[in-house]
Structure formats: structure tokens, C-alpha cells
Amino acid sequence: MSEESLVLSTIEGPIAILTLNRPQALNALSPALIDDLIRHLEACDADDTIRVIIITGAGRAFAAGADIKAMANATPIDMLTSGMIARWARIAAVRKPVIAAVNGYALGGGCELAMMCDIIIASENAQFGQPEINLGIIPGAGGTQRLTRALGPYRAMELILTGATISAQEALAHGLVCRVCPPESLLDEARRIAQTIATKSPLAVQLAKEAVRMAAETTVREGLAIELRNFYLLFASADQKEGMQAFIEKRAPNFSGR
């Protein structure tokens, strides 16, 4: 773990903790930081020993957005050809479950990054919002779509048009966040959720993630088709045989990932 890295990686058995590490810029998501994050995420995705990934931020922010200083003078063609925002799609494409442990500001691209994760937990002092309107732009990494699905069209519209933020408690009430905890126990709470997921069959976890994502990203008809395909597919796995046999024999299952 190098202190100069833009993303710090700590491996704890089956859990990888990735910490956004530009605290002096409130973890503003510069192209270099995003590239580093993608590199770590894809390495974790390819590593069979890792089951769950946690993303958090160093200092008082999760991430205060895309790096405004890196795009202040950009032209549309610069934005297009650099793929500066388009390549964030690789974050959402990770197959393993990703938990966002939001420790402070999650604004603009920071809120969008959290919403690319599968589970969001927050510390009591976290704030969520899409303040791009204050910069004369709009969210560009999924905010108009994912926040709207999370909060409903009217509250999301209000936040996106006014640039206002919401507290962790309000995010909890809306279901954007599934737990709010004191800052000092945020990572332990994320670890607890990750540990539970890590005891499950990784195949079932991966296919469940894909099917749940479909509910938010496609029509019900397409989502149901993917769910049924994945459900059938798992009957080809040793883990399904083991999971059901263990239930019948009243013992804990021993999942192999096959």
C-alpha cells in the first residue's frame, strides 16, 4: 500500500477495501484517480480470492465530484475523445458486489460513483447531491437516471435543478442508503455486510447482482428473462447441489465457487 497512490488498496481475506486518496481535493475524481480505481476494481474482479469490494474515501469526503479543475477549459470534443466520463461505465460493469461506504460528501460524480455500487451505507455526516447545475452543467455519469430511480422523479428533479444536498438520514428514508452509522463504525459495518456476502456462493452472488441490476436498468420483461436464465444456470453449479444438500442435512454449506 503506497501512501502516494490515488487509490489505496487493503485486502482483508475475501474483502478488498479501496480508499479514494486525494483528501486535499476532497477526493475529486480526476482522470488519473478514476483510472487507478478502474485498475484496482478490475484486478479485484479477476482475483478469485476476493468476493466483495468496499469503496470509501480518505478524509472528510467520499468524493466531491468529477475534478472541476481538470475539465474547466475542456471542449465537448475534449470530453468526448478523452473518454473522461465515458470510461466510468467500467466501474458499473464490475461483476462482484461493490459496497460504497460513504464517509462524507458524495456530490456530483461522487454521488454517481456511490450509485454505481450495489449497496450504499453512510456515516451520519454524509451528504448526497448532484450540484452540477451550480456549474452550468448537468450530471454526466448516470445521476439523472440512477438518482431518479432511487428517489423518485420529483425529489430527484428538485435536487438536480436546485443543486441542494440531502443528509444521510434522508437518503436512508428514500432507500438510497441502507444503513447510517457513526463515522467511526462505518467501515466495520461495511465489513460486516461484506463478510456475510462472502460466505455465499460467489456464482449465485454474481448472477443475483446481474439480475437485480436489470430491475433498475431495463424493463420488467427483460429483467424477468435474465433472472430466469440466471436461476436455471445456477442448477449447473456444484454450489447449488452443495447448498441444497447442506440444508437437507442440517449443516452449513461449503461453497466452492464452482
Site string for ligand CAA, 66-85 (x = CB under 6 A): xxxx---------------x
Annotated active-site residue in 100, 110, 132, 190: 132
Annotated active-site residue in 58, 61, 66, 198: 66
Residues 6+ away with beta carbon under 8 Å from 141: 66, 85, 88, 109, 112, 113, 116
Considering the complex, what minimum distance in angstroms separates the CB of residue 254 from ligand CAA?
43
Site for ligand CAA in 137-156 (CB under 6 A): 139-141, 143
Cell (9 digits) for 38: 478502474
Query: How many residues belong to the site for ligand CAA (CB under 6 A)?
Result: 22
The C-alpha atoms of residue 243 and residue 238 are separated, in whole angstroms, by: 8
State CA 243 to chain mean position distance: 28
Considering the complex, what minimum distance in angstroms separates the CB of residue 30 from ligand CAA?
8
Site for ligand CAA in 87-116 (CB under 6 A): 105, 107-109, 112
Active site residue 112: yes
What's the residue count for the chain?
Answer: 258
Q: Where are the alpha helices (DSSP H) in 47-132?
A: 68-71, 76-82, 89-92, 109-116
- DSSP state, residue 27: T
Active site residue 216: no
User: What's the CA angle centered on 196, arms 195 and 198, to 5 degrees?
Assistant: 60
Cell (9 digits) for 164: 441542494
Considering the complex, what minimum distance in angstroms separates the CB of residue 131 from ligand CAA?
4
Please report whether residue 135 would count as binding ligand CAA according to CB under 6 A.
yes
Active site residue 132: yes
Provide the annotated active-site residues.
66, 109, 112, 132
Contact residues: ligand CAA, CB under 6 A: 25-26, 28, 64-69, 85, 105, 107-109, 112, 131-132, 135, 139-141, 143
